[in-house]
Chains A and B, each alone.
Chain A
């Protein structure tokens, strides 16, 4: 089944404790992206990747890192999480950038 898999689905952590949210797709898509969803703000792009080893900042990249060492994986790294990063995070992939995104199930992150 074609899908984008995110893990974990839920995560509660403490301020400053490094964490990684994994994202994997099995559709051989070149384009992958991370979004955060907050009430009243919609979906805001954090980082995106056009291919292996090619990444770029979205609209809200501060406090986040990404890497794209393999085509299928695009992890989101929070080196020192803060409470303002409490949010619902979505990973997405597409064959052609921005078109027909397939979203993962989401990761609800709470930083206390």
Chain B
């Protein structure tokens, strides 16, 4: 089955700087890659996603890039703010519409004021 590895497990950045979280996946058939944000004590929430026919997607300060050849995708957060502090999870799915979504192990991002 699919295996998703996520790095780093913890990340601290100064407020205003950029943060990058990277994930690799094992199954070349995977073609849907969402990112979830989980604030302390709360539920995970979808923040951005990308499909394999797109190399990059952007939404305000967050962006996701995908390299299908290398089987890795990354989350980029620019101009970080204190409210960006959270745990971020990447995930991969064999097919858009496939219920079997495999998550990475998470990255705890801390924004230092």
When the two chains form their complex, are residues B46 and A101 in contact, meaning their CB atoms are under 8 A apart?
A: yes
When the two chains form their complex, are residues B46 and A42 in contact, meaning their CB atoms are under 8 A apart?
A: no
When the two chains form their complex, are residues B100 and A43 in contact, meaning their CB atoms are under 8 A apart?
A: no
- Chain B 10-53, CB-CB to A under 8 Å as 1, else 0, gives 00000000000000000000001010100000111110010000
Complex-state Cα separation, A98 to B31, whole angstroms: 12
- Determine which of B1, B46, B93, B103 lies in contact with A43 in the assembled complex, contact meaning CB atoms within 8 Å: B103
When the two chains form their complex, are residues A58 and B44 in contact, meaning their CB atoms are under 8 A apart?
A: no
Closest to B104 in A: A42
- Chain A 20-38, CB-CB to B under 8 Å as 1, else 0, gives 0000000000010101000
Report if B81 contacts A (CB, 8 A).
no
**What is the CB-to-nearest-CB distance from B32 to chain A, in angstroms, rounded to a whole number?**
7
Contacts of A59 in B (CB 8 A): 1, 102
Contacts of B99 in A (CB 8 A): 31, 33, 48-50, 56, 97-98
Give the A-B pair count, Cβ closer than 8 A.
Answer: 68
Contacts of A106 in B (CB 8 A): 43
Residues in A80-112 with C-beta less than 8 Å from chain B: 90, 96-101, 103-106
- A contact patch SS: strand
- Determine which of A31, A40, A50, A104 lies in contact with B105 in the assembled complex, contact meaning CB atoms within 8 Å: A40
**What is the CB-to-nearest-CB distance from B39 to chain A, in angstroms, rounded to a whole number?**
12
Report if A41 contacts B (CB, 8 A).
yes
- Determine which of A35, A49, A97 lies in contact with B98 in the assembled complex, contact meaning CB atoms within 8 Å: A97
In the assembled complex, 9 residue pairs joining A and B whose CB atoms fall closer than 8 Å, in A order, are A33-B99, A33-B101, A40-B105, A96-B97, A98-B32, A98-B97, A98-B101, A100-B34, A105-B42
- B residues at A contact (CB < 8 Å): 1, 6, 9, 32, 34, 36, 42-46, 49, 89, 91, 93, 96-106
